[in-house]
Structures are given as structure tokens and as C-alpha cells.
Structure 1
Amino acid sequence: MKQLDDFYLKQEEPIKGIFLALKEIIQKQDSEITHVLKYGMPFFCYKGKMFCYLWTHKKYKQPYIGIVEGKHFDEPFLIQEARSRMKIMLFDTNEDLPLEQIETVVQKALNLYKSGIIKV
């Protein structure tokens, strides 16, 4: 857990605060969500399967949630870029987090696993 904690501590504000808020929002969505460090990034897993992660966009320097199975989603605020499977949700550091959108996307991602569309 120390490496995972260090990830958050090493971030500069306001990204650090955004990541900590996102971590809390995501973890509150289901009691079976676990939080691990993979590939140097904080990943959130449902029953051991990675479903989303936090990172900073290299080009835009904005924090985002990456949705592992984002290809199944049509929300206009999710961006695919050159990814075949994942989509991301960028956050403007000067604006409040869109809580309802975040919760909706996280629940939809979890539902893919719970419904059996994505094997757990």
C-alpha cells in the first residue's frame, strides 16, 4: 500500500486533490472495489478485474479516469483517441468535478462486469 500512497503524495496540486477525490468517489461505488498500483498507476478492480484507473494526460496535462472497457460506452464526454479498448474522461483542474457523470460512468463500468458481459 505504501507505493500506492506514494503515488498520490508525489502529485502536485491541484491534480493531487482531484486524484484523491476521484479515488474516494470510485471506491464508494461498490464494496468489492479494490485499489492497486499497476504499471505505476492507481487501478481500481472489481473482483480482481481492472475496470478503471487514474492518470494525467501527457498532451493536455489534465487528470483523467481511464475506463478499461470504454469501447462499450457512447457518452460524448468520453474520449477514445488512438485506444482500441479504453476511453478517458478528462477533468479541467479549474472546474468542479462532474460528480454525477463520474458516478454514472463508474456504475456503467461496474455493470459490465456484474452483468457478465465482461468476464470476472
Structure 2
Amino acid sequence: MNPIQEYFYRIEEPARSTLLFLRKKILESDQENITETLSFGLPFFKYKKKMLCYLYYSKKHKKHYISFYHGDRLDAPELMQEGRKKFKILLIDMEEDLPVPFILELINEVKKLIRA
């Protein structure tokens, strides 16, 4: 297994399946320009080699989250900044359906900010 796969397989179910599904949706949303790397021990998604978002776990909230670069410029009440300068996070509730269209919309917004 490569290091990215190892990251996901250390996570307990049902979170693992949820995060793998989210990973797949993010990568499929723009197969030509979105790539995945392991940075700081976390799965990072990049758009044309520039930071887009990453997945992590919040010990404070006891939930996984997706963190969006340029989050400081995103206007969505569902996102939390919590002292971060450039990122905002969206907590993922494993008991509810993933808001995939909303997440992909945020990713498209970040892509526009990267292109600008």
C-alpha cells in the first residue's frame, strides 16, 4: 500500500468508507487537474499543483473534516474558521448523508479563487 492508502486504512469504519467515498468524489470532480498527495501526514488535494483542500480529524469536535484553502474568502455559514488564517473547515457527520453537491460547489469556488 502507498502512504495515502495507509492513512485511510488506519481509520476505523464507518469513517473509513465515508472518507474514501469523499476522496473518490473529489478526485473524480476534475480528473485532469486535481491530484492527491500526502503532506504533513495528511491527504491533500491539489488543483494544478496548488493547495485545494485536505482531510483531517478534529480532536476538539471528535469528527473528521474537510479543510478548504482560501476558506477565509468562502462565504458559507456551515464552514468554521476557528483561528485559522487561510482555511475553513466543514465537519463531517458520519451519521448523516454527505453533502456531496455542497462540497463540490465549495471545491469549485476554491478553484476559481486559485485561477484568479
The alignment's TM-score, normalised by the length of structure 2, stands at 0.94
TM-superposed CA distance for 1:19, in Å, is 1.1
- Aligned ranges 1:63-78 → 2 under 5 Å: 63-78=64-79
* Count of aligned positions: 115
Secondary structure of 2:94's aligned partner: coil
Task: List structure 1 segments (4+ residues) > 3 angstroms apart after TM superposition.
Answer: none
The residue number in structure 2 matching 1:14 is: 14
Percent of aligned positions that are identical: 38
Q: Which amino acid aligns with 2:98?
A: L
The residue number in structure 1 matching 2:2 is: 2
The alignment's TM-score, normalised by the length of structure 1, stands at 0.91
Q: Going by fraction, where is strand more abundant, 1 or 2?
A: 2
Q: Would you say the 8 A contact 1:29–1:107 is kept in 2? A: no
Secondary structure of 2:29's aligned partner: coil
Taking the aligned partners of 1:28 and 1:108, their CA distance within structure 2 comes to 16
What is the alpha-carbon root mean square deviation over aligned residues?
A: 1.1
Q: Would you say the 8 A contact 1:18–1:63 is kept in 2? A: no
Taking the aligned partners of 2:17 and 2:106, their CA distance within structure 1 comes to 20
Taking the aligned partners of 2:100 and 2:4, their CA distance within structure 1 comes to 23
The residue number in structure 1 matching 2:41 is: 40
The residue number in structure 1 matching 2:80 is: 79
Taking the aligned partners of 1:52 and 1:45, their CA distance within structure 2 comes to 7
Taking the aligned partners of 1:64 and 1:21, their CA distance within structure 2 comes to 14
Taking the aligned partners of 1:90 and 1:52, their CA distance within structure 2 comes to 13
TM-superposed CA distance for 1:90, in Å, is 0.5
Gap runs ≥5 in structure 2: none
Taking the aligned partners of 2:84 and 2:50, their CA distance within structure 1 comes to 19
